[in-house]
Amino acid sequence: MGTPLINLSVTDAPPSRSPLATAARRFARNRAAFAALLLLVLIVLACFVGPLLSPNNAIDSDWSAISLAPTLANMHWFGTDELGRDLLVRTLVGGRVSLEVGLLGTLVSGVIGVAWGATAGYLGGRVDAVMMRIVDMMYAIPYMLIAILMMTLFGRAFYLVVLTISAFSWLDMARVVRGQTLSLRSREFIDAAKAIGVGSRSIISRHIVPNLIGVVVVYATVTVPGIVLTESVLSFLGLGVQEPMTSWGVLIQDGAQKLESTPWLLLCPALMLCATLYSVSFVGDGLRDALDPKDR
Protein backbone atom coordinates (compact mmCIF):
# COMPACT_ATOMS: atom_id res chain seq x y z
CA MET A 1 0.00 0.00 0.00
CA GLY A 2 1.62 3.22 -1.22
CA THR A 3 2.11 6.42 0.73
CA PRO A 4 -0.77 8.82 0.11
CA LEU A 5 0.14 11.95 -1.75
CA ILE A 6 -0.45 15.24 0.03
CA ASN A 7 -2.16 17.70 -2.26
CA LEU A 8 -1.26 21.27 -1.35
CA SER A 9 -3.22 23.88 -3.21
CA VAL A 10 -2.50 27.57 -3.41
CA THR A 11 -5.43 28.27 -1.10
CA ASP A 12 -3.79 26.21 1.66
CA ALA A 13 -0.81 28.56 1.84
CA PRO A 14 -0.86 31.03 4.70
CA PRO A 15 -2.01 34.46 3.58
CA SER A 16 0.79 36.94 3.14
CA ARG A 17 0.57 40.19 5.04
CA SER A 18 0.98 43.53 3.34
CA PRO A 19 4.09 45.58 4.22
CA LEU A 20 1.90 48.07 6.08
CA ALA A 21 0.26 45.32 8.17
CA THR A 22 3.66 43.80 8.92
CA ALA A 23 5.03 47.16 10.02
CA ALA A 24 1.98 47.79 12.21
CA ARG A 25 2.37 44.36 13.82
CA ARG A 26 6.04 44.96 14.56
CA PHE A 27 5.32 48.43 15.93
CA ALA A 28 2.65 47.03 18.27
CA ARG A 29 5.21 44.55 19.66
CA ASN A 30 7.45 47.46 20.66
CA ARG A 31 5.98 48.18 24.08
CA ALA A 32 7.82 51.45 24.66
CA ALA A 33 6.82 52.88 21.28
CA PHE A 34 3.22 51.68 21.59
CA ALA A 35 2.88 53.18 25.09
CA ALA A 36 4.39 56.44 23.82
CA LEU A 37 1.85 56.46 20.97
CA LEU A 38 -1.04 56.04 23.42
CA LEU A 39 0.33 58.84 25.59
CA LEU A 40 0.76 61.09 22.56
CA VAL A 41 -2.81 60.43 21.44
CA LEU A 42 -4.06 61.29 24.93
CA ILE A 43 -2.07 64.54 24.93
CA VAL A 44 -3.38 65.54 21.50
CA LEU A 45 -6.98 64.75 22.46
CA ALA A 46 -6.60 66.64 25.73
CA CYS A 47 -5.19 69.72 23.97
CA PHE A 48 -7.87 69.84 21.27
CA VAL A 49 -10.92 68.57 23.18
CA GLY A 50 -10.13 69.37 26.82
CA PRO A 51 -10.65 73.16 26.63
CA LEU A 52 -14.09 72.60 25.10
CA LEU A 53 -15.17 70.42 28.03
CA SER A 54 -13.73 72.54 30.83
CA PRO A 55 -15.96 75.07 32.65
CA ASN A 56 -12.96 77.42 32.84
CA ASN A 57 -11.61 79.68 30.13
CA ALA A 58 -8.03 80.38 29.06
CA ILE A 59 -8.60 84.14 29.05
CA ASP A 60 -11.19 84.88 31.73
CA SER A 61 -9.89 85.67 35.21
CA ASP A 62 -11.16 84.34 38.51
CA TRP A 63 -10.33 87.17 40.92
CA SER A 64 -11.19 85.01 43.92
CA ALA A 65 -8.47 82.46 42.99
CA ILE A 66 -5.39 84.52 42.14
CA SER A 67 -2.07 82.57 42.20
CA LEU A 68 -3.84 79.51 43.56
CA ALA A 69 -1.66 76.41 44.01
CA PRO A 70 -2.68 73.16 42.28
CA THR A 71 -5.40 71.38 44.21
CA LEU A 72 -8.23 68.91 43.63
CA ALA A 73 -10.51 70.75 46.03
CA ASN A 74 -11.77 73.07 43.28
CA MET A 75 -11.85 73.23 39.48
CA HIS A 76 -8.31 74.68 39.17
CA TRP A 77 -6.38 71.40 39.15
CA PHE A 78 -3.15 72.96 37.79
CA GLY A 79 -3.58 76.13 39.84
CA THR A 80 -3.97 79.66 38.52
CA ASP A 81 -1.66 82.49 37.49
CA GLU A 82 -1.35 86.00 38.86
CA LEU A 83 -4.49 87.05 36.98
CA GLY A 84 -6.58 84.14 38.22
CA ARG A 85 -6.58 82.33 34.88
CA ASP A 86 -6.85 78.54 35.00
CA LEU A 87 -3.44 77.04 34.23
CA LEU A 88 -4.81 73.67 33.10
CA VAL A 89 -6.89 75.21 30.33
CA ARG A 90 -4.08 77.58 29.37
CA THR A 91 -1.65 74.65 29.21
CA LEU A 92 -4.00 72.69 26.95
CA VAL A 93 -4.66 75.69 24.71
CA GLY A 94 -0.94 76.42 24.58
CA GLY A 95 -0.30 72.78 23.70
CA ARG A 96 -2.78 73.07 20.84
CA VAL A 97 -0.85 76.03 19.42
CA SER A 98 2.54 74.32 19.87
CA LEU A 99 1.30 71.10 18.25
CA GLU A 100 -0.23 73.02 15.34
CA VAL A 101 3.06 74.83 14.78
CA GLY A 102 4.92 71.50 14.93
CA LEU A 103 2.59 69.67 12.54
CA LEU A 104 2.20 72.52 10.04
CA GLY A 105 5.90 73.29 10.14
CA THR A 106 6.75 69.63 9.56
CA LEU A 107 4.27 69.44 6.67
CA VAL A 108 5.67 72.53 4.95
CA SER A 109 9.30 71.60 5.50
CA GLY A 110 8.59 68.01 4.49
CA VAL A 111 7.03 68.99 1.15
CA ILE A 112 9.92 71.32 0.34
CA GLY A 113 12.60 68.92 1.55
CA VAL A 114 11.20 65.89 -0.29
CA ALA A 115 10.75 67.79 -3.56
CA TRP A 116 14.21 69.37 -3.33
CA GLY A 117 16.08 66.25 -2.27
CA ALA A 118 14.34 63.90 -4.72
CA THR A 119 14.93 66.27 -7.64
CA ALA A 120 18.59 66.81 -6.79
CA GLY A 121 19.26 63.12 -6.19
CA TYR A 122 17.52 61.89 -9.34
CA LEU A 123 18.82 64.47 -11.81
CA GLY A 124 22.36 64.39 -10.43
CA GLY A 125 25.28 66.09 -12.12
CA ARG A 126 25.42 69.86 -12.14
CA VAL A 127 21.82 70.20 -11.02
CA ASP A 128 22.56 68.15 -7.92
CA ALA A 129 25.75 70.11 -7.24
CA VAL A 130 24.05 73.50 -7.52
CA MET A 131 20.99 72.50 -5.45
CA MET A 132 23.05 70.99 -2.64
CA ARG A 133 25.44 73.97 -2.57
CA ILE A 134 22.37 76.14 -1.96
CA VAL A 135 21.51 73.85 0.96
CA ASP A 136 25.07 74.21 2.30
CA MET A 137 24.88 78.01 2.05
CA MET A 138 21.58 78.04 3.95
CA TYR A 139 23.18 75.93 6.67
CA ALA A 140 25.74 78.71 7.13
CA ILE A 141 23.03 81.32 7.78
CA PRO A 142 22.45 81.95 11.52
CA TYR A 143 18.93 80.58 11.69
CA MET A 144 17.97 81.96 15.09
CA LEU A 145 19.20 85.44 14.14
CA ILE A 146 17.06 85.42 10.97
CA ALA A 147 14.04 84.20 12.95
CA ILE A 148 14.49 86.97 15.52
CA LEU A 149 14.89 89.55 12.73
CA MET A 150 11.74 88.44 10.91
CA MET A 151 9.68 88.41 14.11
CA THR A 152 10.92 91.88 14.97
CA LEU A 153 10.19 93.35 11.53
CA PHE A 154 6.91 91.64 10.64
CA GLY A 155 5.32 90.87 14.00
CA ARG A 156 4.51 87.59 15.73
CA ALA A 157 1.55 86.28 13.76
CA PHE A 158 0.88 82.54 13.90
CA TYR A 159 1.44 81.97 10.18
CA LEU A 160 4.72 83.91 10.32
CA VAL A 161 5.98 81.72 13.15
CA VAL A 162 5.25 78.62 11.04
CA LEU A 163 6.85 80.03 7.89
CA THR A 164 9.93 81.27 9.74
CA ILE A 165 10.57 77.91 11.35
CA SER A 166 9.80 75.98 8.13
CA ALA A 167 12.15 78.16 6.08
CA PHE A 168 15.16 76.31 7.49
CA SER A 169 13.70 73.05 8.81
CA TRP A 170 13.58 71.41 5.37
CA LEU A 171 17.37 71.33 4.92
CA ASP A 172 17.97 68.09 6.85
CA MET A 173 15.00 66.43 5.13
CA ALA A 174 16.41 67.39 1.72
CA ARG A 175 19.75 65.77 2.52
CA VAL A 176 18.17 62.56 3.80
CA VAL A 177 15.85 62.27 0.79
CA ARG A 178 18.66 63.04 -1.64
CA GLY A 179 20.81 60.24 -0.19
CA GLN A 180 17.95 57.73 -0.46
CA THR A 181 17.17 58.88 -4.01
CA LEU A 182 20.76 58.28 -5.11
CA SER A 183 20.37 54.62 -4.12
CA LEU A 184 16.94 54.30 -5.75
CA ARG A 185 17.69 55.80 -9.16
CA SER A 186 19.87 52.83 -10.14
CA ARG A 187 17.16 50.25 -9.37
CA GLU A 188 15.62 48.08 -12.10
CA PHE A 189 12.13 49.59 -11.95
CA ILE A 190 13.60 53.06 -12.57
CA ASP A 191 15.49 51.74 -15.61
CA ALA A 192 12.30 50.11 -16.85
CA ALA A 193 10.39 53.39 -16.49
CA LYS A 194 13.07 55.21 -18.45
CA ALA A 195 13.01 52.53 -21.15
CA ILE A 196 9.30 53.03 -21.87
CA GLY A 197 9.72 56.80 -22.07
CA VAL A 198 8.46 58.00 -18.70
CA GLY A 199 9.57 61.56 -18.02
CA SER A 200 11.75 62.65 -15.12
CA ARG A 201 8.89 64.45 -13.35
CA SER A 202 6.67 61.37 -13.46
CA ILE A 203 9.48 59.08 -12.31
CA ILE A 204 10.16 61.33 -9.32
CA SER A 205 6.50 61.69 -8.33
CA ARG A 206 5.30 58.15 -9.11
CA HIS A 207 8.33 55.97 -8.42
CA ILE A 208 10.91 57.79 -6.30
CA VAL A 209 8.73 59.62 -3.75
CA PRO A 210 6.37 56.67 -2.97
CA ASN A 211 9.39 54.51 -2.13
CA LEU A 212 10.63 57.16 0.30
CA ILE A 213 7.45 57.30 2.40
CA GLY A 214 8.90 55.15 5.18
CA VAL A 215 12.02 57.30 5.50
CA VAL A 216 10.01 60.52 5.32
CA VAL A 217 7.55 59.40 8.01
CA VAL A 218 10.34 58.34 10.35
CA TYR A 219 12.27 61.56 9.84
CA ALA A 220 9.09 63.61 10.28
CA THR A 221 8.80 62.25 13.82
CA VAL A 222 12.23 63.75 14.44
CA THR A 223 11.28 67.07 12.85
CA VAL A 224 8.07 67.58 14.87
CA PRO A 225 9.73 67.79 18.31
CA GLY A 226 12.50 69.94 16.85
CA ILE A 227 10.00 72.48 15.50
CA VAL A 228 7.94 72.41 18.71
CA LEU A 229 11.10 73.02 20.71
CA THR A 230 12.16 75.84 18.35
CA GLU A 231 8.78 77.52 18.74
CA SER A 232 9.09 77.17 22.50
CA VAL A 233 12.53 78.80 22.44
CA LEU A 234 11.24 81.69 20.33
CA SER A 235 8.27 82.11 22.64
CA PHE A 236 10.56 81.93 25.67
CA LEU A 237 12.53 84.81 24.15
CA GLY A 238 9.31 86.75 23.63
CA LEU A 239 9.32 86.27 19.85
CA GLY A 240 6.67 83.58 19.45
CA VAL A 241 2.90 83.86 19.38
CA GLN A 242 1.35 86.86 21.10
CA GLU A 243 -1.70 87.44 23.26
CA PRO A 244 -4.44 86.40 23.35
CA MET A 245 -2.79 83.23 21.94
CA THR A 246 -0.41 81.28 24.10
CA SER A 247 1.90 78.30 23.77
CA TRP A 248 4.02 76.09 25.97
CA GLY A 249 7.00 78.37 25.38
CA VAL A 250 5.03 81.45 26.45
CA LEU A 251 3.81 79.69 29.60
CA ILE A 252 7.31 78.48 30.43
CA GLN A 253 8.63 82.01 30.01
CA ASP A 254 5.97 83.39 32.35
CA GLY A 255 6.58 80.61 34.87
CA ALA A 256 10.36 81.09 34.82
CA GLN A 257 9.93 84.71 35.91
CA LYS A 258 7.89 83.64 38.95
CA LEU A 259 9.64 80.39 39.82
CA GLU A 260 10.23 81.17 43.49
CA SER A 261 6.70 82.34 44.33
CA THR A 262 4.58 80.16 42.00
CA PRO A 263 6.67 77.21 40.73
CA TRP A 264 3.63 75.39 39.30
CA LEU A 265 3.40 78.00 36.54
CA LEU A 266 6.67 76.58 35.16
CA LEU A 267 6.41 72.91 36.11
CA CYS A 268 3.01 72.13 34.58
CA PRO A 269 3.64 73.34 30.99
CA ALA A 270 7.26 72.12 31.13
CA LEU A 271 6.12 68.60 32.06
CA MET A 272 3.56 68.60 29.22
CA LEU A 273 6.22 69.75 26.76
CA CYS A 274 8.72 67.11 27.92
CA ALA A 275 6.09 64.34 27.81
CA THR A 276 5.17 65.29 24.25
CA LEU A 277 8.77 65.46 23.03
CA TYR A 278 9.69 62.12 24.61
CA SER A 279 6.53 60.48 23.24
CA VAL A 280 7.23 61.63 19.68
CA SER A 281 10.84 60.47 19.97
CA PHE A 282 9.83 56.97 21.15
CA VAL A 283 7.22 56.74 18.40
CA GLY A 284 9.86 57.71 15.86
CA ASP A 285 12.21 55.00 17.13
CA GLY A 286 9.39 52.46 16.91
CA LEU A 287 8.52 53.48 13.35
CA ARG A 288 12.17 53.31 12.35
CA ASP A 289 12.46 49.74 13.62
CA ALA A 290 9.08 48.71 12.18
CA LEU A 291 9.77 50.12 8.71
CA ASP A 292 13.41 48.99 8.49
CA PRO A 293 13.53 46.51 5.57
CA LYS A 294 16.70 44.89 6.93
CA ASP A 295 14.77 43.44 9.87
CA ARG A 296 11.95 41.88 7.83
- What are the sequence ranges of the domains in the chain? 88-290
**Which comes out higher in pLDDT, residue 22 or 112?**
112
Q: Is 275 a residue whose pLDDT tops 80? A: yes
Mean pLDDT of 47-56: 85
Mean pLDDT of 152-175: 82
**Which comes out higher in pLDDT, residue 275 or 153?**
275
50 CB contacts (<8 Å, ≥6 apart)? 88, 89, 92
Q: Is 34 a residue whose pLDDT tops 80? A: yes
- For 20-26, the CB contacts below 8 A with 24+ separation are 22/296, 23/214, 23/287, 23/290, 23/291, 24/290, 26/289, 26/290, 26/295
238-277 burial code (b ≥16 CB/10 A, e <16): ebbbbeebbbbbbbbbbbeeeeeebebbbbbbbebbebbb
Say which DSSP state 212 is in. Answer: G
At residue 294 the predicted structure's pLDDT band, cuts being 50, 70 and 90, is low
Most trustworthy range by pLDDT among 1-15, 100-114, 182-196: 100-114
Lowest mean pLDDT among 54-68, 80-94, 132-146: 54-68
pLDDT of residue 13: 46
Per DSSP, helices labelled H in the chain are 19-29, 31-53, 87-123, 125-140, 143-154, 158-184, 188-195, 200-203, 213-236, 248-257, 264-291
Mean pLDDT of 248-254: 84
Mean pLDDT of 3-31: 64
Rounded distance, CA 119 to CA 181, Å?
Answer: 9
Mean pLDDT of 166-180: 89
198-234 per-position pLDDT tens digit: 888 888 888 888 888 888 888 888 888 888 888 888 7
Lowest mean pLDDT among 12-21, 170-179, 180-189: 12-21
Predicted model pTM: 0.79
Helix 213-236 and helix 264-291, axial crossing angle in degrees, nearest 10 = 170
Rounded distance, CA 29 to CA 8, Å?
Answer: 32
Q: Which CATH class is domain 88-290?
A: mainly alpha
DSSP code per residue over 231-286: HHHHHHTT-S--TT---HHHHHHHHHHTTTT-THHHHHHHHHHHHHHHHHHHHHHH
At residue 61 the predicted structure's pLDDT band, cuts being 50, 70 and 90, is confident
